[in-house]
Amino acid sequence: MNVVPISYYLVLSAILFGLGVVAFVFKRNIITIFMSIELMLNAVNLAFVAFARAHNQLDGLIFVFFVIVIAAAEAAVGLAIVITIAHNRRSLNVENVDLLKF
């Protein structure tokens, strides 16, 4: 049977991760940034799964579960923060949230 080579997955994973990074750095909307984090996490997940499949090992899959759990937790906390910021500042622009400095 024809198996898609692992490099395809890895390249896709890299592209997705890169997009996530670019979005994270250049976007201003906090929700978009949040989404780009999810994108990066899932790009990594993809790489894990691909490796697990290629090496016929379960470790990668287990890692993926952990990542999904953490992503869920992060989403819960993160969205709560987003709501609080939106509530207090009437804005979702991260440029304005820069008090934690110097």
Partner 1 sequence: MPMLDHLWIILALPLAGAAINGLLGKNWPKSAVNSVAIGSVSLAFLAVVETVREFLQLPANQVPWVRTYFPWMTAGIFKVNFALQVDQLTIVMLLTVTFVGTLIHIYSTGYMAHEGGYYRFFSYLNLFMFFMLTLVLAANIVVMFVGWEGVGLCSYLLVGFWFLKPSAINAGKKAFITTRIGDFGFTIGILLLFWTFHSVDFGTIFSQVSGMPSDTMTQAGVLTTICILLFIGAVGKSAQLPLYVWLPDAMEGPTPVSALIHAATMVTAGVYMVARMHPLFSRAPIAMLIVAIVGAATAFYSATIGLVQTDIKKVLAYSTVSQLGYMFLACGVGAYTAGIFHLMTHAFFKGLLFLCAGSVIHAMGGEQDMRKMGGLRKVIPVTFWTMFIATFAISGVPGFAGFFSKDEILEAAQSGPHANLPLWLLGLVAAGLTSFYMFRLIFLTFFGKQQFDEHKVHVHESPKNMTVPLMVLAFFAIFGGWFAAPKLVGGTNYFDAYLHPVFAAYEVQTSVGQEEAAARPAGEEGGASPAMDLVHALTGPPVIVGLIGILLAWWFYIRRPDLPKKLASSMYGLYTLVLHKYYVDEIYAAVIVRPLLWVSTNVLWHTVDEGLIDGTVNGSARLARETGGKLRELQSGNARSYASWVVVGAVGVTALLLGIWMKVH
CA distance linking residue 3 with residue 49, whole number of Å: 15
Neighbours of 16 (CB within 10 A): 19
Candidates 10, 12, 52, 94; binder of partner 1 (CB under 8 A) is 94
Scanning 5-13, 45-53, 55-63, 92-100 for contacts with partner 1 by CB under 8 A, the matching segment is: 92-100
Tell me the closest approach of the beta carbon of residue 17 to partner 1, in angstroms: 10
102 binds partner 1 (CB under 8 A): yes
What 8-state DSSP symbol labels residue 92?
Answer: -
What are residue 29's DSSP bridge partners? Answer: 93
Candidates 12, 19, 21, 49; binder of partner 1 (CB under 8 A) is 21
Question: In terms of CB distance, is 90 or 102 closer to partner 1?
Answer: 102
Which residues 24-63 are close enough to bind partner 1 by CB under 8 A? 24-26, 28, 33
> The tokens of 25 are what?
């750095």
Q: List interacting residues with partner 1 (CB under 8 A).
A: 21, 24-26, 28, 33, 94-95, 97-102
